[in-house]
Chain A
Amino acid sequence: MKTTDFGWLVLAFPLVGMAISALGWRALPGRLPGWIGSAAILGSFVASLGMLQSLSNEPEESKQLVGTAFTYIDTAGFAADLSILVDPLSVVMCLVVSGVSFLIHLYSVAYMTSDEGFARFFAYLNFFVFSMLLLVLAANFVLLIVGWAFVGAASYLLISFWYRRATATSAGIKAFVINVIGDVGLVIGAFLLFDATGSLDYFGVFEAAPEVFGRNDPQLVAACLMILVGAFAKSAQLPLHTWLPDAMEGPTPVSALIHAATMVTAGVYLIARCFPLFELAPAAADVSAIIGTATLIFAASIAMAATDLKRVIAYSTMSQIGYMILGVSVAAYGAGLFHLVTHAFFKALLFMGAGSVIGAMSGIQSLDRMGGFRKAMPFTFVTFTAGALALAAFPLTSGFFSKDEILAYAFNRGGFYVVLALVGYVAALMTAFYTFRLVFRVFFGPPVPEARELERGHMTHGAHANPATGEEEDTGVGFPGAEHHIAEREWAMKAAMGPLAVLALIAGVLGIPGLTDTLEHFLEPTFESSRFHEEVPSEGAEYAGLAAGGAFALIGIAAAYYFILRDPTLRLKTRERFAGLHRVLINKWYVDEAYDLAIVRPAAAAGRFGRTVVESTFVQGVLVGGTVGIVRAGTALARSMQNGELRAYAALLLVGLACLVLYFLIVAT
């Protein structure tokens, strides 16, 4: 079997799984669609492992293989194949996507059991995994855009999964609209590249780019910026980030899969994939690095004040993706992808833990209502803390190595990148603080009634209501199911969270500076043509960075302990002291309000103007009304001639005949 055949297999499994659940859901009883969906993704993961094995057997100089199924489009001057690219980068992405997806499918089998839309959920989930794998395996921009749009559609379907919830459907629409802005950007970027290079294949573009573009060529910079618009919309970077917190309206496994581990990292993948272009257009790469840095501190600041459990994790996702974007923009490709991998592990885990806690709270997500779950939910507590340690970059966990490697690379570039790296360290301190703020507020402190009930072995059943608005709901299709499920009582959820907790703690071995660097070496064939390939920070610098990062993490955790556990009144006092700042953070820096003022309201006003003035006055009154008037006047004349008087008709006929005769007489003479 050729290496690329494994790639096609990776794509085929989730597609088949989706078809089975989507078409045969009536015939599949109980949890069967879930098991079929999980098995499909497991198959995909196994095929990815096969791809890894097969690729490592390939000779050193041909680690980038393209497999073509058939010609997709072939017209004058333009050709695109349906082809996949198997190289170390896509293999890593496939392994992460299919591996984490499999565990999340497993988790969902238990988590979504009592939902009426169980089979639909797995059909969507498999469709998402297929689209994501298509995105990472595509060998040209055409197929990339197809996958890119598919994941946006899957994300929309899954955010709006509880489609009778008004908040969920509007969040889905918001996500879709912003993603489409990104799609348009990506399409324009691809067009600009095609315009100059005459190709849409990655390799075709990358080979032609140095010949047709000078350094910082305006057209190349424009193309790269357009690609960045696509990347930023998908990866929730400033200023296209507002959809991600709202996307938490979807079921928690969706948040874990799409809005933490896989889809939102597509932008990072895209920048890494297009690195030859960004190295030719350093201006665009700098824009990307600055926006990544701005996002990482912006999101971290909001996460420190937000009170919705899932939204805090969502903002931390934004922040961590900011680190990755910074990494791939300063040519630290290995480090950026390393953080992508470890982040997929610990963020999926954190969302799974949050889902378990929300289950125990029977749907409530507000941190203010939680507390003291440590004894009631020991498994969730341990795994969630493992994820939190990794997110806070506690020494020797996975996040510790990956985050600090990015910052070390940024330092190494010198210039203003040093400022970006310093901002990154400040945000790392904030990250440790808000992460442990979550841990301490959810699991420590006096137990809330729900936790007490659970300690006695009984789960509370709250009213079925929308946690955001308090509206009452039933448990039919389109709303969450009747039962909640927690990790302590479902082996499938434990089986998903356990491995991720272990990975969150030990995945750092993939990239211990100077010792292992496994991932970086593996990715080398993809990135060895980089101009910055030799510019790596010295081991001493990396270890100094690790020490600083570890210290920041410990300080952040200590601060969280000090503010939240040791003296809870201090938290409230600080909040009052900085009431203005707190209000800004709680309101997410008023970005949504600014968009409302700058875009939504003018658009709505223009729409109202069109409806009242243009449509009803001009179109209805002048165009339609005028036409109707002319036709009506004409027909009135014709009608008046049809008066039913036989002799009048005869007279008309004869007069006409006489006229004809007269005419011919005159003509003849």
Chain B
Amino acid sequence: MSAQWFVVLSAFIFSIGAAGVLTRRSPLVILLCLELMLNAGNLALISFSRMLGNSDGQLFALMVMVVAACEVVIGLGIIVGMFRRRLPIDVDEMSELRG
């Protein structure tokens, strides 16, 4: 099986994630979609790594996982905070930070 299919799958997952980020309004779902996009990136990295017979891509994938874990910790923390303060769970309503 050539690496091409893995990359196509990766692009497909990335697009699903991006569409989710753009269309959904719940911050929790947006966070999930972001994870999808990150993992699509990981998949692409690993498939290229395998294609080239070089382990650098795998190392990068590990690093991306670390970053994703950190991001989830902070993102979920913010979302839990929003629930506790009974703020609207809708990113369109939260547009106070503007110029």
Contact = CB atoms under 8 A, between A and B. Distances in A.
Interface stretch (A374-382, A596-604, A634-642): A634-642
A644 B22 contact: no
Contacts of B95: 643-646
Interface string B85-97: 0000001101111
A135 to B, nearest CB: 66
Given A647-B21, A650-B21, A638 B92 contact: no
A650 B30 CA distance: 11
**Looking at chain A, what size class is its interface with the partner chain?**
10 to 19
Contact of A639 (B92, B94, B99): B99
Contact of A646 (B18, B91, B99): B91
Contacts of A644: 94-98
Contacts of B99: 638-643
Interface residues of B, number: 13
B97 A650 contact: no
Interface string B67-99: 000000000000000000000000110111111
B91 A647 contact: yes
A654 B98 contact: no
B10 to A, nearest CB: 13
A654 B92 contact: no
A654 B91 contact: no
Contacts of A650: 21-22
A606 interface: no
Contacts, number: 34
Contacts of A641: 99
Nearest to B19: A654
Nearest to A636: B99
A651 interface: yes
Contact of B92 (A640, A645, A651): A645
Nearest to B15: A654
B98 A643 contact: yes
Contacts of A639: 99
A641 to B, nearest CB: 8
B22 A642 contact: no
A647 B98 contact: no
Nearest to A657: B18
A654 B96 contact: no
Nearest to B21: A650
A647 B22 contact: yes
Interface in B1-41: 18, 21-22, 25, 30
B94 A646 contact: yes
A651 B95 CA distance: 15
Given A645-B92, A646-B91, A651 B22 contact: yes
A639 B99 CA distance: 5
Interface in A452-502: none
B57 to A, nearest CB: 19
Nearest to B98: A644
B18 A647 contact: no
Contacts of B25: 647
A286 to B, nearest CB: 78
B40 to A, nearest CB: 13
B64 to A, nearest CB: 17
A610 to B, nearest CB: 40
A639 B22 CA distance: 22
Contacts of B21: 647, 650, 654
Given A646-B91, A647-B91, A654 B97 contact: no
A436 B8 CA distance: 120
Nearest to B37: A654
B90 to A, nearest CB: 10
Nearest to A635: B99
A640 B99 CA distance: 7
Contacts of B18: 654
A554 B48 CA distance: 123
Contacts of B97: 644
B25 to A, nearest CB: 8
A640 B98 CA distance: 8
A175 B30 CA distance: 81
A172 B92 CA distance: 73
A643 B94 CA distance: 11
A234 B38 CA distance: 86
Q: Pick the most buried of A638, A639, A645, A646: most chain B CB atoms within 10 A of its CB.
A: A646
A413 B32 CA distance: 113
Contacts of A654: 18, 21-22
A633 B92 CA distance: 27
Interface of B: 18, 21-22, 25, 30, 91-92, 94-99
Given A645-B92, A647-B91, 5 more contacts: A642-B98, A643-B98, A646-B30, A646-B94, A647-B25
18 contacts: A639-B99, A642-B98, A642-B99, A643-B95, A643-B98, A643-B99, A644-B96, A644-B97, A644-B98, A645-B95, A647-B21, A647-B22, A647-B92, A650-B21, A650-B22, A654-B18, A654-B21, A654-B22
For the complex of A and B, 4 pairs with smallest distance between CB atoms: A644-B98, A644-B95, A642-B99, A639-B99
